[in-house]
Chain A
Amino acid sequence: MAEPITYLEAIRQGLWEEMERDRRVFMLGEDIGVYGGAFKVTKGFLEKFGKERIIDTPIAESGIVGAAIGASLMGLRPVAEMQFIDFIACAFNQITNFAAKSRWRYGAGVPIVIRGPAGGGVRGGPFHSQNPEMYFVHTPGLKVVAPGTTYDAKGMIKAAVRDEDPVIYLEHKYLYRLPRIKEVLPEEDYTVPIGKAAVRREGTDISLITYGSMQLHCLDAAEALDKEGVSAEVIDLRTLLPLDADAIEATAKKTGKVLIVHEDTRTGGIAGEVTSLINERAFEYLDGPVLRVTSPDAPVPYSAALEDFFLPNTQKVMDAARKLAAY
């Protein structure tokens, strides 16, 4: 019987298997080789795959992503690590202008993966805790994924490596070693398709649409709501671009009441997009306004007192859900 593994180990396994499967796959980033990565995602990779395929680079995020793009144009499958996803801002031009538009401009796909630890809850402060997804969700040509379970973490990194388009793979660092989400994974090769949401919990009265680590709060809230006689469905978006519009439409029509929960800040967050989508596709089915629970419009703070106030939690989800259920 296989042992349950962590979310981080699932990512590591996925990358390892893809590198074994396809010699075109290689990785580049800061401290990923000898050191094994800041979070040890690439521990042991250098020894196994050699320095030709596990490349320690200078501190140059735009250079790293640019080099990944160039190599992908030549037929390789680079996986670029951002040591913290916050630093992806330095590579914004390469990602949004070069990688995202190449296929559309002149027919060349850029099959690269840019991955790194995102999200808060670890007292990392404003430059080690961000949720940068929406900078990229607004860019046609990119795919943005944010797995929230151990199974998905592995299946989606494998799907990302095999994808023909540039994928931003956001791994939530709060989940990296969280015992609660350890899982026994299948021994055989599997992928989790990009662009498909998952129903994490079936329900009939209210829909909680979420992704990443926030689904834990949603599941806990759903559990508590159940005791109050409210049946909540929990949808994990998993992919933020392209959005699974069908799954969103289906759950909105099913329950007629939707609460969107995300850790990213409020203005311009994915909740606004999901709300519009529901308005366009399921307005007549709604029995209340589409509500959202998000972080406030502020940088992610450092102090525990501040960050705990800042982040959504089970209580905030419960409060909003009760309000919505009462309509």
Chain B
Amino acid sequence: MSKAARKESRRKQPPGARTAPEARPAKGLSPDKQLDIYYYLKLNRMVEERLSALYRQGKVQGGLYGSKGQEAISVGSAYALAPQDVLAPMIRNLGAMLVRGVKPVEFFLQYMQKEGSPCKGRDTSLHFGGIDRGFVPPISPLGTLVPVLTGVALAGRMLGRKLVAMTYIGDGATSTGDFHEGMGIASVMRLPLVVIIENNRWAYSTPVAAQSLLTDLAEKARAYGIPQGVVDGNDVLAVHEATESALDLARQGKGPVLLEAKTMRMRGHSEHDDAWYVPEEERRFWEKRDPIALYEKRLVDQEVATPEELAAIVERCTSEIDRDLAVAEAAPSPRPESCIEDIYAPLADPGSEEAAPKTPASARRS
């Protein structure tokens, strides 16, 4: 078969067909860790299901951006990070935030606009975190995080920390200038940056075929002369393994890595969107490939856990969610006037001692 014909035949296959997960043993992950991953996958989905119910009750306003069908990417990739690494999640990476230590209560508080929410009721969705917790929070304009994480990777190197900066980008956002500017700078500076293209086939209502003529968006790495990879985004262990490899490459100091995880957004762009524009055939194809169901089957088939043991994990998720939601429901609304606070740092005379830089002694010139 000629190269062109191969490409053509690949195009005609149902999306994702060539990367169907095989029932193979998990590389380097103990049974305990495999079950840990299962816990995060379930918690990811169940927190979002609960948020969806709250949305229908009118307790969550604004956009609610679910990740149903994509949980394996968030969980599998974040599970590969080292503690010192910095992650910038996007709006569908709630699972990655759970893996990195965010508790369900924070999502409930945040989405219900309560006092004590990570953003004090000022900002929406998953726009929270901070470097002290290993996160850079996203903003709504897309692609913006790639240059910012380039700067994180740069600072990591300047400060002598062996960290990798990692972020996600949707298929749609790979069309933005910021994506290319960030990749361009990171590549020529050989910065330890991993960008995971979460190709869920739809940017709101725009199909991936209307974003790019490439079959694999990871091919965009060629423009920067950097390593690329494509992985089945519905196979959590494959995502984990591919991310580990990408992180290793980045840690070796050779520059950024672009990894594409292929998946499908199984709900609308946001809760209000019923995704009527998605062809029925495409939706049905991907429904059969639910990452959590596939993983459950593998854990049981390979005798990592019994169905009862998995049920116990689900039970644990339920009780954590119930407990956390009760806390969030009881929390008051923020003080209205607090929206005009914290715009600038407290005033200090730049020349005064209080304003003197909080520099570690080692970083200062003597």
Q: Which A positions have Cβ atoms within 8 angstroms of B?
A: 20-24, 26, 52-53, 55, 57-58, 60, 62-78, 93-94, 97-98, 101, 103-109, 140-141, 143, 158-159, 162-165, 189-191, 193-195, 242
Contact = CB atoms under 8 A, between A and B. Distances in A.
B231 to A, nearest CB: 26
B142 to A, nearest CB: 10
B334 interface: no
Given A69-B148, A78-B151, A105 B119 contact: yes
A193 B350 contact: yes
Interface in B121-169: 122-123, 127-131, 136-137, 139-141, 144, 146-156, 158-159, 165
Contact of A67 (B86, B151, B342): B151
B118 interface: yes
A57 B185 contact: yes
B185 A76 contact: no
Contacts of A191: 350-351
B100 to A, nearest CB: 15
Interface stretch (B3-11, B46-54, B176-184, B199-207): B176-184
Contacts of A190: 351
B159 A76 contact: yes
B84 to A, nearest CB: 11
B365 interface: yes
B345 A103 contact: yes
A205 B331 CA distance: 58
Given A24-B359, A70-B165, A64 B365 contact: no
B355 A105 contact: no
Nearest to B147: A66
14 contacts: A66-B147, A67-B148, A67-B154, A69-B147, A71-B155, A72-B151, A93-B144, A97-B139, A98-B144, A105-B122, A107-B130, A159-B350, A163-B350, A195-B347
Top 10 closest pairs, chain A to chain B, by CB: A70-B151, A66-B147, A63-B181, A74-B155, A164-B345, A67-B151, A60-B181, A71-B155, A70-B152, A71-B151
Given A23-B364, A71-B151, A104-B343, A64 B159 contact: no
B363 interface: yes
A75 B344 contact: no
Contacts of B139: 97-98, 101
Contact of B178 (A26, A66, A140, A143): A66
Contact of A66 (B148, B158, B345): B148
Given A22-B364, A24-B363, A67-B147, A106 B154 contact: no
Nearest to A26: B158
A107 B342 contact: yes
B349 interface: yes
Contacts of A69: 147-148, 151
B188 interface: yes
Contacts of B184: 58, 60, 63
Contacts, number: 169
Given A55-B189, A69-B148, 14 more contacts: A52-B158, A62-B178, A62-B181, A63-B147, A63-B182, A70-B165, A74-B152, A75-B155, A103-B342, A103-B345, A106-B128, A107-B130, A141-B344, A242-B344
B28 interface: no
Nearest to B363: A23
Contacts of B188: 58
A74 B182 CA distance: 17
Contacts of B152: 70-71, 73-74
Chain B interface category by residue count: 35 or more
Specify the main secondary structure of chain A where it touches its partner: mixed
Contact of B154 (A21, A22, A58, A70): A70
A106 B130 contact: yes
A94 B364 contact: no
B40 to A, nearest CB: 23
* Among A23, A63, A94, A140, residue most surrounded by chain B Cβ atoms (within 10 Å): A63
B279 interface: no
Contacts of A109: 345
A106 B153 CA distance: 21
B357 interface: yes
A179 to B, nearest CB: 29
A61 B359 CA distance: 28
A240 B181 CA distance: 30
B158 A22 contact: no
B147 A103 contact: no
* Among B152, B158, B355, residue most surrounded by chain A Cβ atoms (within 10 Å): B158
A69 B184 CA distance: 17
Contacts of B363: 23-24
Given A103-B344, A194-B350, A66 B151 contact: yes
Contacts of B127: 105-106
Contacts of A164: 344-345, 355
A272 B364 CA distance: 44
Contact of B123 (A62, A64, A106): A106
B119 A76 contact: no
B355 A162 contact: yes
A106 B118 contact: yes
A31 B131 CA distance: 30
A71 B148 CA distance: 8
B345 A165 contact: yes
Contacts of A26: 158
A64 B349 CA distance: 28
B331 to A, nearest CB: 18
Nearest to B188: A58
A62 B151 CA distance: 12
Contact of B158 (A21, A76, A162): A76
Contacts of A65: 147
Contacts of B137: 105-106
Contacts of A62: 147, 177-178, 181
